[in-house]
Amino acid sequence: MSMTILGAGNMARGIGTRLVAGGNSLTLMSRDPQEGATLAAERQAGADNGALVQAAPFGSPLRDDVVILVVPYTAEAENIQQHHAQLPGKMLVNITNPLNATQDGLATPPGSSDAEEIARMVPPAARVVKAFNTTFARTLVEAGGLRGIDTGQLSRARQLEEMGFLDITLQGPLGTHFMSVWKLLFP
Ligand SMILES: NC(=O)c1ccc[n+]([C@@H]2O[C@H](COP(=O)([O-])OP(=O)(O)OC[C@H]3O[C@@H](n4cnc5c(N)ncnc54)[C@H](OP(=O)(O)O)[C@@H]3O)[C@@H](O)[C@H]2O)c1
């Protein structure tokens, strides 16, 4: 499968690592061409099963059916607006932990979630999925062996975003430097 990541920061590195290890080809779109090229070369080195990784400037046409938005919460709306006309038929993956300005709570309105707010911004023929927000970038790079769990309807994003926020608040007290993440234990 081929996917596009919008953004080239920490989570682009983490998610990109897992995607290419699973044999998925990747286009990394970045505002900084040098940063994008470096990240693409690094991910290509870790690619499996013929996965190809390329960098492209921000604003290039979105060719893949799956687009992962990997920018700060405050930059999401402008990015969706910018790509709006290209989104029908695509799956937009929202990974954000929408922290408020003081980082002591979520910025989203009660009874909603960032993912649901985004679903209202995209064209009706686009689908929004919440994913990856309950992990951290370094965990994605180093852990491997992860299994995705389908948690159901998009409103489950409310719980996922609260889980992400709680885990962030625990990093200081636990002293685990953004390396301790939720794990679901199976019988
Ligand atoms: N870090 C984590 O462990 C973690 C875990 C779960 C979820 N998340 C979520 O992942 C998202 C990204 O976090 P991150 O840690 O990867 O951040 P980051 O390292 O700061 O990277 C952010 C990326 O977004 C780009 N960007 C910033 N503003 C933009 C704009 N207005 N238009 C286009 N691109 C823009 C940056 O480009 P420039 O370099 O050009 O500024 C950079 O490539 C956030 O929503 C965060 O809540 C992060």
As averages over each run of 10 residues, the pLDDT of the chain (187 residues) reads 97 96 96 95 93 96 98 97 98 98 96 98 98 96 86 98 98 96 93
CA dihedral angle for residue 14, residue 5, residue 172, residue 143, rounded to 10 degrees:
-20
The reported pLDDT for the residue numbered 139 is 93
Cα angle 65-66-68, degrees, rounded to a multiple of 5: 145
Encode pLDDT of 56-81 as tens digits: 999 999 999 999 999 999 999 999 99
Q: Is the CB of 113 under 6 A from ligand 1?
A: no
Q: How far is residue 183's CA from residue 180's CA, in Å, rounded to a whole number?
A: 9
Residue 21, H or E segment: helix 10-21
**Cβ(177) to ligand 1 under 6 A?**
no
Q: Is the pTM of this model over 0.85?
A: yes
Q: How many CB atoms lie within 10 A of CB 75?
A: 13
* Alpha carbon of 31 to ligand 1 centroid (Å): 11
- Please count the other Cβ atoms lying within 10 Å of the Cβ belonging to residue 107: 17
What pLDDT is attached to residue 146? 85
Return the pLDDT at 149: 95
- Which residues is 91 bridged to in the sheet? 66, 127
**Tokens (6 digits) for 139:** 């965990």
Q: What does the pLDDT read at residue 145?
A: 75
pLDDT at 144: 72
Q: Residue 149 corresponds to which tokens in the numbers above?
A: 């769990």
Kind and range of the H or E element at 6? strand 2-6
Ligand 1 atom at minimal distance to the Cα of residue 134: 6
Model pLDDT, residue 138: 94
Asked whether 32 lines ligand 1 (CB < 6 A), one says: yes
Nearest CA to ligand 1 atom 44: 72
